Amino acid sequence: MTNAILLVIALLFICAFAWSYYKMSVLSNIANLNYSESLESNKALAIPSMSYVTLNYTLPYAGYLKISYSSTSAIYIWVGSNFSQQFPDGNYFSRYPPQRESSSGTFVVPVLPGEVYVTIYNPSIFNGVALTISIEYHY
């Protein structure tokens, strides 16, 4: 009976150690931005002239987004979050391209945990735009 109790205690100790090691490994990987997931993979969008589309995400960790796109005409993209709403002048903290517009590009923008939104604008007065976008979340 005593040996059985000692065996159960040893197994509980080993399981607790293994679980603790696993959780520390996960947290270390998150802190080192070793994880990534695809939020959008070649998502096709159609945006009418002088209009926009917003994509919303709830992100659990700080990290960064890698956004790649190509479109039939020039667009621009704003990235914002519930954190950026606390600042004067708005809801967004990053614009790509920084000036003007472009029909393709790839850029990286840091994000904090919480609500994040990616708004794609079509500034054309006359033409709609067809767009393909991919968004990777690294944390």
The set of residues, in sequence order, having a beta carbon less than 8 Å from that of 58 and lying 6+ positions away, is: 114, 115, 116
- CA dihedral (28, 32, 37, 41) in degrees, to 10, reads 180
When the pLDDT of each residue in the chain is averaged and rounded to a whole number, the result is 88
DSSP-derived secondary structure for the chain: -HHHHHHHHHHHHHHHHHHHHHHHHHHHHHHTT--EEEEEEEEEEEE-TTEEEEEEEEESS-EEEEEEEEEEEEEEEEEEETTGGGSTT-SEEEEESSSS-EEEEEEEEEE-SEEEEEEEEE--SS--EEEEEEEEEE-
Q: What is the average per-residue pLDDT within 73-95?
A: 80
pLDDT at 25 over 70: yes
pLDDT at site 84: 63
Per-residue pLDDT band for 103 (boundaries 50, 70, 90) equals very high
Percent of the chain clearing pLDDT 90 (strictly above) = 60
Per-residue pLDDT band for 86 (boundaries 50, 70, 90) equals low
pLDDT at site 7: 73
